[in-house]
Amino acid sequence: MAIVQISRITNRKGLIENLPQLAGAELGWAVDTRQLFIGNGTLQEGAPIIGNTEILTEFSDITAVSNYTYKDIAVGYAAQTGPTTSNPVVRTVQAKLDDFADVRDFGAVGDGAADDTAAINRALFQLYCVEANTQIRRTLYFPAGTYKITETIIIPAYAKLVGEGANCTTIYLDTSSDISSLSAYVARYGDSLQQTGVNIGNNGATAPTNIEISSMTFETVEVTDVFLVEDATQCYFDSVNFVGPLTTADIIATPSADNIAGVRFASTVSLVCNQITFDKCRFQGLTYGINTDQEINSVTVSNGAFVTLYQGISLGTGAPVNGGATGFRAVQNLFDEIYSEGIIYDNVDLNVSAYNVFYDVGNQYSSSPVTPVILFGNDNNASISDMFERDDVDAQIEPRVEVTGSATTTGTQIQVGHYARENGRIFTLADNQSNQPIFTTDTSTIKAYEMTYTITRNTVVRFGTLVVTAGSVSPAVSYADEYTEDASSGITLSVTRSGDVVSVLYSSTSTGLSGTITYSLARLA
């Protein structure tokens, strides 16, 4: 455009609130905000609208005055965002950037050296506690880094925390510089005002609910618990690690003395923890992966790993509150390097262990079993299709699954309530033997059972069912062995009793060949 005339340059200055309509090309300087404006001119002069236009300077809020429209040009076309291509949805860049919050926006550093406690708690308070308006709630993003804290992080209702991966984003408790400030937890739930403990729900606050945490690690170098789930409902952990400072050497030296848990629970009568899910989580370097005597309902732990612990999951081993845990489900997890039991459901009911795999568990880091792999204090709990590295020989020393006060089972089993069925047990029947034991049971816990078996000896196959019933008074015992075989196997089964111990015996003829019996047991009473 050719310059026709420059007649004058004028300017004004004052406070932003007093900015007038400037004449065409007239400059206006807001001294309080350090913003510069120029008058648009009149419509007759060709201005599209009457008004003032801001001239960008270093003090301009560029994100507020810049517009953004979603285009997705990487796929080769501009997406239609509005009702027509000529009427797109337009947002400011500021609004676009505010779609989520970065913890660094609140002062966190994440370098493993700076104390990020105040910055993280400030971000949580500002995003989830200041206003009841749900529109202010944003996902709080933790970029990769180690966020050192020296006090407990309080995660309020409705919070959603997302990291860049459990091995990338770590919230790390270290109070070594000030041991007097030792915290009880790395992190804990709070209500919608970040109140905790007996204060949860006071001042009109909402108890912990709808909290989601994913892709990060909570770690402590202190002798302190990692996480407290308190008075919470409908909360979720996804791909979260709970890590403590203990090594196998620490656990061997003082097996349960440190008393550090990855997760503990706290409930009240009116606020019982329920609908809590841990998926793809890891518990490591602790006394207990999960430990509580509190009343909790419908907690699920799935697809996780419990490694380098004294015990994996321990529920109701003390004095359960209001019945303790019910509806707890441990499903499809891995347990390894566990000094004592992998799972204990002690003085609690209606809990399940299913499809878990147990490797080095219950051996006290030695070559021989010392404790059961799974221990049930009541028979109204279930082990369904769990798999064990502990073989049949070691299972005779300490069972894979033990139900104290009800039944003791020693093999791979399915158990639902009082009904328990073992399968996959194999025993060699030596040649030319007389009344040798195959296995024993205790009438104080098992009154009747059914043994389904298959015997093979050379080319002979025998299939049968042995039903054993033991009376309450010794030496009363009865049994019935019904079977079919394609030829004589030379094997005879019998049952004897001595006190409370019932033994299944075998005798074999002399053929020069041993046999094999494969059997399963079903407890009947």
Query: Where does the chain hold its CATH 2.60.40.1680 domain(s)?
Result: 426-523
Segment 370-377 shows an average pLDDT of: 94
CATH number of 426-523: 2.60.40.1680
pLDDT at residue 407 greater than cutoff 50: no
Q: What is the pLDDT of residue 152?
A: 94
CB 447 within 8 A of CB 476: no
CB 241 within 8 A of CB 218: yes
Chain mean pLDDT for the chain: 88
The number of angstroms, rounded, from the C-alpha of 166 to the middle of its chain's C-alpha atoms is 12
Which CA distances in Å does 356 have to 302, 305, 361, 431?
9, 10, 12, 38
Q: Which of the four pLDDT bands, split at 50, 70 and 90, describes residue 65?
A: low
Q: What is the band of 3 on the pLDDT scale with cuts at 50, 70, 90?
A: very low
Helix (H) or strand (E) holding 253: helix 248-253
Say whether pLDDT at 447 is over 60.
Answer: yes
Q: Is the pLDDT of residue 246 over 80?
A: yes
- What are 112-144's pLDDT values in tens digits? 999 999 999 999 999 999 876 666 678 999 999
Looking at residue 200, its pLDDT comes to 94
pTM: 0.72
115 vs 87, higher pLDDT: 115
Q: Which residues of 256-274 are buried (b: 16+ CB within 10 A; e: fewer)?
A: eebebbbbbbbbbeebbbb
Question: Helical H runs in 33-106?
Answer: 62-65, 93-97
Cα distance between residue 138 and residue 126, in whole Å = 10
CA angle 432, 437, 440 (to 5 degrees): 165
7 contacts: CB under 8 Å, gap ≥ 6: none
Range with the lowest mean pLDDT among 7-11, 17-21, 187-191?
A: 7-11
Give the pLDDT confidence score for residue 479 in this predicted structure. 92
Contact 150, 193 (CB under 8 A): no
Alpha helical stretches, state H, 104-176:
117-128
pLDDT at 1 over 60: no
Q: CA torsion 75→80→85→89, rounded to 10°?
A: -130
The confidence band for 68, taking pLDDT boundaries of 50, 70 and 90, is confident
Q: Residue 178: is its pLDDT beyond 70?
A: no
The pLDDT value recorded for residue 49 is 87
CA terminus-to-terminus distance, the chain? 101
178 or 261, which is more confident:
261
84 vs 483, more confident: 483
The pLDDT value recorded for residue 4 is 47
Q: Is residue 409 scored above 70 in pLDDT?
A: no
Residues belonging to the chain: 525
Model confidence at 61: pLDDT above 90: no
More confidently predicted of 114 and 84: 114
| Distance from C-alpha of 44 to C-alpha of 184, rounded to nearest angstrom | 72
The reported pLDDT for the residue numbered 173 is: 94
